[in-house]
Structure 1
Amino acid sequence: MGTIVVNTNLTLDGVVQDPTGDEEFSRGGWFDSTVGPDRSAWAEVEAAEAEATAAILMGRRSYDWFASRWQERPGTWADRLRAVPKYVVTSRTDGLGWDNTTVLDGDPVEAVKRLRDEVEGDVVVYASRQLVQTLLDHDLVDELRLIVLPTVLGAGSRLFGETAAPVPVRLTDARMIGDGLAFLTYAVVSPQPA
């Protein structure tokens, strides 16, 4: 059985919208403030995670963003992202040209449940805010890996929106990446039966 792991970069106030400034959001591009040693240390953490990942799960917009940047990029990290199986929750099957991509069709909740049963190891969800919200609402997230940038953006879509019920979590690790990024890992605590 797989472990569904959400991995995302976010601001201190939880914003995940437009980290690279591609969406024309007035406060977009906030991830670009991560430079020098912090950016190198971040890349090492992310590349190591990719090596340990059994599969990647994404929504369609995140898939398109990642594919446009990684399917042609050289290097070991990019090679690993090409090789790892990728699963996309989408109703559109056009333009899915990144190697090893499978569409999860039908009900996304049921499709992710099947995927979790079939994959051994970490199934990492990159970005995909709407998908993360759905997975949280259906108790399908096992772990949160949050890389927090030292920026309060003050506006924008946040990772955690309104949920169907409280989602209890337990901090399992906290460390620094470089000199300015916090890497927080939380286990999602499954609700206890009544």
Structure 2
Amino acid sequence: MNPEECTLYHGGLKGAESLFGETAEKYGVKEVIFTFEGHRLNRDKNPVVLSDEELLRGDISMEIASRMMNRTYYETEKIRKVLQTIFHMVNKGHQIFVIGTILEDNSVKGGTGWAVELAKLFNRPLHVYDQNHRKWFTWENGTWQEDTPKITYDTFVGSGTRYLSDDGRAAIEQLFADSFQK
């Protein structure tokens, strides 16, 4: 893979997303951050501020989102906009990388789990670094399989927890090193 021909999509939040962006910049990967008016970013390199009309393209019933993720999301405007923004990231990026925690029901903890569920729904190559198990897993045939993924598509998403561990940080850095060896 030629890093200069690749684009990383993320949400610019602290933790995993900011480190994905910083690491992409080191390798010369283009970076696009999806956000919305009034949303505070930790990293704001190349932000795309989605209009209300654009956000609506990623709209989903909070009831459906809650059911898909086996948790309750209440009808708040900010959470809805965050989920709509995640839709745009996953819709644009072909391969999805997430740092987080895989739960017993095969979902991923927190808002990051929405990127995971959309990747499953869109049948995108999906990889999660589980910080508790300190390993990468790839979603294949309806189960998580231990793996050592590489970036193999020219558009990809980097998302994940705000609470990035040292192992999670190392996993992102190793992912880029393995994918873009010079």
TM-score (norm 1): 0.36
TM-score (norm 2): 0.38
More strand by percentage: 1
Larger RCO (alpha carbons 8 Å, 6+ apart): 1
